Structure 1
Amino acid sequence: MKYAFFPGCVLESAAKEDYLATVAVAKKLGIELEELDGWTCCGASHVQDIAPEITLATNARNIALAEEKGLNLLTVCNTCTLMLREAKNELDNNEKEKNEVNKKLAQIGKQYRGTTDITHFLWVLIRDYGLDKLKAKVVKPLTGLRVAEYYGCHILRPQTEMGFEDYQMPTSLADLISAIGATPIDFSRKLDCCGFHAVYPAHDSVMQMTGSINKDAATEGADCVVTPCPLCQMQLDMFQKEAKEVVGGGKDMPILHMSQLVGLALGISPAEMGMPKRHLTDTAAVTKFVG
């Protein structure tokens, strides 16, 4: 099982812990990740607002890099997944756009063919690898750990671009959490937006959103929040202290990327996945479950 790996900007910088965890988990499971050489930013749902043609051509090039390897493209970021899938959908369904983009790519010796799929690591673990195989690899089941499963926006919506599961009643993250021995709490805010993409233009409103997610996770009995998105993880962790003041308190809530949680169950050391060093909110409430 092999994929072209598109880490995206945040895994190469602010969320390096998610890069470390994803690579370690993939290695443990025998999933080969071949990182794309020369990948570029997906646009993060912002660049297309001012330069849609550049965003489309950039992501066509990213996909073309995977096509050259004959591999499907894997990401661990909700927003990267959405941007790449949006580009693929547009190019595959608009011959004129595809031809225009390929004229640009030809200048650098590239061509978009439409032969590769765009997938998220969560989907790979669920659909390609399989939860039964994953269960068999668990050496430290996270028994007793109560997890608020938090999907975020871009891995579910729009349904026309993503389509892995019902965007109103998703189960993939809860199924993954259960497979490694932990208990998903059926979090009431699992579909809410964390506010990452609006944190600067609408800071006060976003702090209310962020704070409510963390506070309600605690109220509903969670020991931690787990998300498949590094941007959601950053938002809920990095602004937790400030957001807590806005919503009137609440306990400290560890925020983990799903790769980190899976890694713990597979016996990968917390330190190897950036815990607690790369977290602002202490992760001891989670790591105590693996000794």
Structure 2
Amino acid sequence: MLRYAYFPGCVAQGACHELHQSTIAISQALDIELIELKKAACCGSGTYKEDSQLLEDTVNARNIALAESLNLPLLTHCSTCQGVIGHVDERLKEAKENDVEYFNQVNGFLKKENCSPYQGTTEVKHILWALISDYGLDALQAKVVKSLKGLKCAAFYGCYLLRAQKHLPFDNPFNPQSLEQVFSVLGATPVFYEGRIKCCGWPLSSYATEQSFKMAGKNLLDAINNGADCIVTPCPLCHLNLDSRQPEVAKVIQKKLDLPILHLPQLVGLALGIEPEKLGLNNHVVSTAKVLHLLGY
């Protein structure tokens, strides 16, 4: 049995609760044990470092240390969390070797709060990469009970998953294939399009809303024009901009969209034969009915 220290993140416990719901559902179906880090803090989504790099490193050193105390890798299903926490892990592992003073400064703050020290003994891994490198594509394919044949899926990776870390051992940041590999073993047809590795526009949405929506709209139209039945993303923030704001995006770009946006665990869950309601597929702003109809529901 695979075991992970599960870092659900903020969005999956709030605006995208269906992501947490579907992650739990597929982990049970695949016999993966998740031990939730209930004392973990928000990774900061890249905002802490705007004020203090030390703050971002200390908060996330504590998150990683919680996983280390269990002697488990930290698992997240959020590409933003992966990018932030993974980059902190990289930076602190380098500091342990080359900047001991800074490394000790971070652990000094943890000690003041009676927290376990960061040691740099584990890894931070997105569920996408865990499915491929730990569980294995062949093993995942063997678990498929409902092929997704006939469903054309467009990947939307998210910036943080591809470009936040210095090293990306599980994929190519400029020509990723991991999502498409998962689609294929589930029986779906991958749709390749230019927008799949671009920004969804979420980081701009609070202060440049129209520009954010235009970015989202361009990516959505790109996927639609290349024949996608849906977009599948490993990032809940991308999901928010592409799904929950899609009606507003459509008004800004003055185009009809109506493209379902699925979380990666939801797509996997459908192939595993899990009922759509148990995956939270009825919680989306853009109806997923077209996807379910194509799959015979």
Scaled by the length of structure 1, the TM-score of the pair is 0.97
Matched, 1:108 2:113: yes
Matched, 1:132 2:133: no
The residue that corresponds to 1:236 in the other structure is: 242
Instruction: Tell me, in whole angstroms, the C-alpha distance in 1 between the residues paired with 2:255 and 2:130.
Output: 37
Matched, 1:41 2:42: yes
Paired residues for 1:1-291 under 5 Å: 1-94=2-95, 95-109=100-114, 110-158=116-164, 160-276=166-282, 278-288=283-293, 289-291=295-297
Deviations 1:246-276 (A, max 9, x none): 2231330000011100000101111111112
Deviations 1:138-188 (A, max 9, x none): 011011001111111111104514342111111000000111011011122
Instruction: Tell me, in whole angstroms, the C-alpha distance in 2 between the residues paired with 1:82 and 1:50.
Output: 18
Deviations 1:198-226 (A, max 9, x none): 10111111110011111221111111000
Structure 1 runs (4+) deviating above 6 angstroms are: none
CA contact (8 A) 1:208 1:246 kept: yes
CA contact (8 A) 1:218 1:250 kept: no
Instruction: Tell me, in whole angstroms, the C-alpha distance in 2 between the residues paired with 1:65 and 1:221.
Output: 43
Instruction: Tell me, in whole angstroms, the C-alpha distance in 1 between the residues paired with 2:165 and 2:94.
Output: 16
| Partner SS, residue 156 of structure 1 | helix
Task: Name the stretch that deviates more: 49-58 or 12-21.
Answer: 49-58
CA contact (8 A) 2:84 2:164 kept: no
CA contact (8 A) 2:16 2:236 kept: yes
How much identity, in percent, do the aligned residues show?
43
The aligned length equals 290
Task: Name the stretch that deviates more: 258-267 or 198-207.
Answer: 198-207
CA contact (8 A) 2:144 2:186 kept: yes
Root-mean-square deviation (CA, aligned residues, Å) is 1.1
Q: Which runs of 5+ in 2 are unaligned?
A: none
CA contact (8 A) 1:210 1:239 kept: no
